[in-house]
Amino acid sequence: MFFMIGPLFFASLESKIPGKFMLILYRFRYGGIFRYPNWPYGQGSFIYSGMGSLFGEVFRISTWGESHGGGVGVVIEGCPPRLPLTESDIQPDLDRRRPGQSDIVTPRKEEDKCSILSGIFQGKTLGTPISILVHNDDARPEAYREMETLYRPSHADFTYEAKYGIRNWQGGGRASARETIGRVAAGAVAKKILRTLYPQWDILAYVTAIHDIFAKVDHDSVCFKGIETSIVRCPDPVASSAMEARIRQVRGEGDSVGGILECIVRGVPPGLGEPVFDKLEADLAKAMLSLPATKGFEIGSGFAGSQLKGSEHNDAFHMEGDQVRTQTNRSGGIQGGISNGELIIFRVAFKPTATIACEQQTVSTTRENAQLFARGRHDPCVLPRAVPMVEAMAALVLCDHVLRQRAQNVLP
């Protein structure tokens, strides 16, 4: 028996065990179990499926694959038809994300060449699902044999096993940052949609801090070339040199460091965001904190704004031609959960890489105290390769909200 209440779809199934009743509930993207011990037909449960690999509402993606499996990729739904699109639109961002691009990142050698498997005809999108594949060519699962029985401190090994009762110990499986290939590929498509709709639209992410070294960046003058000339992806040359030296130092010590990325988005129209639970900054925060190794998010004045008075923090309005503008931008381009047309600016904190070549206290899968000396190929600092990941997630959020706004705001 099937029935529907609002957006929830139900299917009931009577068990062969007398007095038992199970109700299976399928919803678009959320998961959980609700038990009804006093159900009129006997003891039963509500079960609905969890799909944590889905992201977005209208422009929707589903990533798949593991770090040391055959490959990784993404399926994109909701992409408008007739958008010119080839692998050459996607590959540059994957190249910025790939391992082995410099001597301060993981030495794993992957070309990360993408193949579009569906959704394209004669160089244009069809409006149907787009599937993108990247093969894993340099997987070395044997390097992780020690992690089969030992949990890496501050990694997802223990928690994945606690949740699922099984885990892929070969490189962390889905917990590996290699999962983000699908996000970056989909983000490149989202970027092209946004630039097609808004020619002035642009997004830039860059490193502003590594460990205790901080950069000085002018939001008005920072540009893509200035970011990409630094292997750290920091547009401040002085800070960039110091950051490179620090990363090489901790790598030599078998250790790691974290830092902060900043992201700015130019040319965003006012009116994007869906209060109350899908506020634009709320969706950006979720997007960023879903990335591996992230530990913090702030937008505009962020936590520093809590130290100001309202008279100091408020962004006064003024007219600039026929446009409503603000004299300052402590709101970070979003007010009331909706974009106001100003520069969107936010920051994301990344922790030090969890897998390090230092001996650490841990426990085994048999619940015994142990020592772990991790092997494998890992980034001593994730931030240089996280730049295109942050851009991709921001582009996915903004593209989704643009299409949601266009679907909603249809009357003249």
With 80 as the cut, is the pLDDT of residue 29 above it? no
* Tens digit of each residue's pLDDT (9 = 90 or more) over 222-242: 999 999 999 999 999 999 999
pLDDT value of residue 409:
87
Rounded average pLDDT over 358-379: 88
pLDDT value of residue 171:
77
pLDDT value of residue 51:
57
When pLDDT is cut at 50, 70 and 90, the band that residue 325 belongs to is very high
Q: Return the CATH fold of 54-408.
A: Chorismate synthase, AroC fold (3.60.150)
With 90 as the cut, is the pLDDT of residue 60 above it? yes
Q: Which residues contact 230 (CB under 8 A, 6 or more apart)?
A: 207, 237, 240
Rounded average pLDDT over 174-187: 94
pLDDT value of residue 159:
93
When pLDDT is cut at 50, 70 and 90, the band that residue 50 belongs to is low
Q: Which residues contact 313 (CB under 8 A, 6 or more apart)?
A: 301, 305, 330
pLDDT value of residue 106:
82
With 70 as the cut, is the pLDDT of residue 45 above it? no
pLDDT value of residue 16:
42
Q: Is 45 exposed, middle or buried (0-12, 13-18, 19+ CB in 10 A)?
A: middle
Instruction: Work out the mean pLDDT of the chain and round it to a whole number.
Output: 88
Locate the domains of the chain by residue range: 2-48, 54-408
With 90 as the cut, is the pLDDT of residue 41 above it? no
Q: Which residues contact 47 (CB under 8 A, 6 or more apart)?
A: 22, 23, 24, 25, 33, 34
Q: pTM here?
A: 0.88
Give the residue from 163, 186, 187 showing the smallest Cα distance to 52. Answer: 163
Q: Which residues contact 308 (CB under 8 A, 6 or more apart)?
A: 301, 330
CA 30, CA 25: separation in Å to the nearest integer?
A: 10
pLDDT value of residue 89:
98
When pLDDT is cut at 50, 70 and 90, the band that residue 108 belongs to is confident
pLDDT value of residue 345:
98
